[in-house]
Amino acid sequence: MAEEAGVFMVPQTVGSVLCCKCGVRMAPNAANMCVRCLRSEVDITEGLQKHVIILHCPECNCYLQPPRTWIKAELESKELLTFCIKRLKNLNKVRLVHAEFIWTEPHSKRIKVKLSVQKEVLHGAILEQSYVVEYVQQEQMCDSCSRIQANPDQWVAAVQLRQHVSHRRTFFYLEQLILKHDAAVHAIKIKQMDHGIDFFFGNRSHAVKFVEFVGKVAPIRSRHDKQLVSHDSKSNNYNYKYTFSVELSPVCREDLICLPPRVAVSLGNLGPLVICTKVTNSIALLDPFTLRHCFLDADQYWRSSFKPLLTSRQLIEYIVLDVEIISPEVNIGGSRYALADVQVARVSDFGKNDTIFSVKSYLGHLLSPGDYALGYDLYGANTNDIDFDSYRGLVVPEAILIKKSYEEKRQKKRGKPRSWKLKNLNMEVEESRNRVEDEKKNTEYEEFLRDLEENPEMRFNISLYRNRDYQPSEIASTVDGDFPSIPIEELLADLDLSENEDEDDMHD
């Protein structure tokens, strides 16, 4: 710069001239007219739209952006401002500097936006001018709302989840998983059926996403079909109804399984009797005598779909008489096991006769004489399984213990509410025919809740909420010695808007 080079520069002050139109004193600019005269000469908003009609759907509060998109926006929001500016044509001729809303009555159906634009006029002077654009809001229902209005039960895709077992434990657990991951937010209707649940969706892609979600949390096999509903021959549009039939594997946690010979061999000669310890998108099997475990993928399982030998319905109570630990405690797949020789007697036999069983169990670290345990009674069981019969010379233990029972302690807590609760999907349930089924459902649900209390890893995937009605009483705190209960830190506090509790869970 010349100044830095040491050249003496005279400081220049800008003089003032008279505006050539009105004679007011002003600093000279490119047009040599004061701003007011320039504005009166030139109107840069000429040719810009000042009046626009926009379409609004009153049901879902959306605005139409032609040809087809509906944009959801609140009044005086950023999205609405962007939408309004997009609807103006010719705005690329001027430069937009600022835009804001002018308040109008909410139900006046008018939206006013004040825009400031800049443009070059007359010899390079840039003029800035603001003007108001008025939008008239016309009501028109959007396509999805009109479809819903026409037929509220209209579904396009249905997912039928089925599991051919006699209990609903899996579905209780799945329900909680779905709630936690919001997988069924797009479902129009959820219906509880015999042996399963039906989900109805408005869009095929929602159904596909849901099926994929279920495939990630449970071993499934599925097939899909479609049915033609209508056909527009002029534009060649075909409307279908899609159905996805999803079958969950009948193998559940704590089931006793007798593996078919081929599967046993392919898994490295895993003893044909195994216990299923965990079911996610793969099945974890544990050999109770050797403490070997392995995993079966969904594909692998369905290639040789075997059914469980005994399910958890058939668990009976044993009383432990003696425990002798054989091997030290090990940690397999996250759970602790200790192999032990135990002497047990069935509670039904206890006191009546002397039937005692000496069995090997992996619950050595948990059991002590006098404890109760739940297990499968193979001594008295009558099984009807092809695979079981195909083994010749199979040594079958008389009992296999699965888990420790807390029944005694539960007696004391019976009737008292828990400190936590779960939320439910709003399903349509058919009216039950008789009381027996009702009671069966309630007991199953109760058992499911107990399972949750006992298994921290099961709780991992589920959201638990604090029960506001629960008052911890003095008595209960003293009894809770080694009774498994859920620590308060795991409970998610519900949101404070207590009257909106259900809505918060299912908001979309």
- Residue 62: its H or E element: strand 62-65
* Rounded-to-10 torsion of CA 360, 365, 368, 373: -60
- The nearest distance, CB 120 to other proteins, in angstroms, is 15
Q: In this complex, which beta carbon is closest to other proteins, that of residue 22 or of residue 126? A: 22
* Residues sharing a CB contact under 8 Å with residue 471, sequence separation 6 or more, in sequence order: none
Q: Which of 1, 2, 7, 14 binds other proteins (CB under 8 A)?
A: 14
- Under the binding rule (CB under 8 A), the answer on residue 22 touching other proteins is yes
Q: Is 164 left (phi over 0), alpha (psi -120 to 50) or beta?
A: beta
| Residue whose CB is less far from other proteins, 15 or 67 | 15
Cα 504–507–508 angle (5° rounding)?
155
Pick between residue 119 and residue 181 the one whose CB is nearest to other proteins: 119
Report CA 504 to chain centroid distance, whole Å. 14
Which DSSP helix (H) or strand (E) runs through 407?
A: helix 407-413
Residue with tokens 């809770």: 480
Give yes or no for a contact between 400 and 376, defined as CB atoms under 8 angstroms apart: yes
19 binds other proteins (CB under 8 A): yes
Q: Which stretch binds other proteins (CB under 8 A): 15-23, 333-341, 361-369, 458-466?
A: 15-23
Rounded-to-integer distance, Cα 143 and Cα 259, Å: 54
Q: Which of residues 24-43 bind other proteins (CB under 8 A)?
A: 28, 31-33
Cβ closer to other proteins: 19 or 80? 19
Site string for other proteins, 74-113 (x = CB under 8 A): ----------------------------------------
The residues that bridge with 197 in the sheet, in sequence order, are 161, 192
Residue 38 Cβ vs other proteins, minimum distance, rounded to whole Å: 9
Selected from 55, 85, 99, 122, the binder of other proteins by CB under 8 A is 122
Question: What is the nearest approach in angstroms of other proteins to the Cβ of residue 10?
Answer: 5
Interaction between residue 498 and other proteins (CB under 8 A): no
Residue 18 or 386 with smaller CB distance to other proteins:
18
> What's the rounded Cα separation, in Å, for the pair 127 and 42?
9
Q: Reduce the DSSP state of residue 408 to 3 states and report it.
A: helix
Residue pair 200/155 in contact (Cβ under 8 Å)? The answer is yes
DSSP state of 259: -
Least gap, CB of 131 to other proteins (angstroms): 24
For the packed helices 204-217 and 169-181, what is the interaxial angle rounded to 10 degrees? Answer: 120
Q: How many residues bind other proteins (CB under 8 A)?
A: 20
For the CB of residue 97, give the shortest distance to other proteins in the complex, in Å: 24
- Pick from 2, 6, 12, 392 the residue near other proteins by CB under 8 A: 12
The token pair that represents 119 in the structure block: 């443009």
Give the burial string for 373-403 (b: 16+ CB within 10 Å, else e).
bbbbbbeeeeeebebbeebeeeeebbbbbbb
Options 8-16, 244-252, 389-397, 399-407: segment touching other proteins (CB under 8 A): 8-16
Q: Give the closest residue to 74 by CA, choosing from 63, 65, 59.
A: 63
The least distance separating other proteins from the CB of residue 1, rounded to whole angstroms, comes to 16
Please identify, among the stretches 7-15, 107-115, 374-382, 412-420, the one whose residues bind other proteins according to the rule CB under 8 A. 7-15
Instruction: Find the shortest distance in angstroms from Cβ 140 to other proteins.
Output: 51
Tell me how far, at minimum, the Cβ of 100 lies from other proteins, in Å. Answer: 33
Least Å from the CB of residue 28 to other proteins: 4
Determine contact, residues 246/222, Cβ cutoff 8 Å.
Answer: yes
Cα-Cα-Cα-Cα torsion 365, 371, 374, 375, nearest 10 degrees, comes to: 70
Q: Which stretch binds other proteins (CB under 8 A): 11-19, 266-274, 287-295, 403-411?
A: 11-19
Name the minimum Å distance from CB 19 to other proteins: 7
> Please, which residue, 23 or 380, has the CB nearer to other proteins?
23
The yes or no reply on residue 123 touching other proteins (CB under 8 A) is yes
Q: Which residues bind other proteins (CB under 8 A)?
A: 10-23, 28, 31-33, 122-123
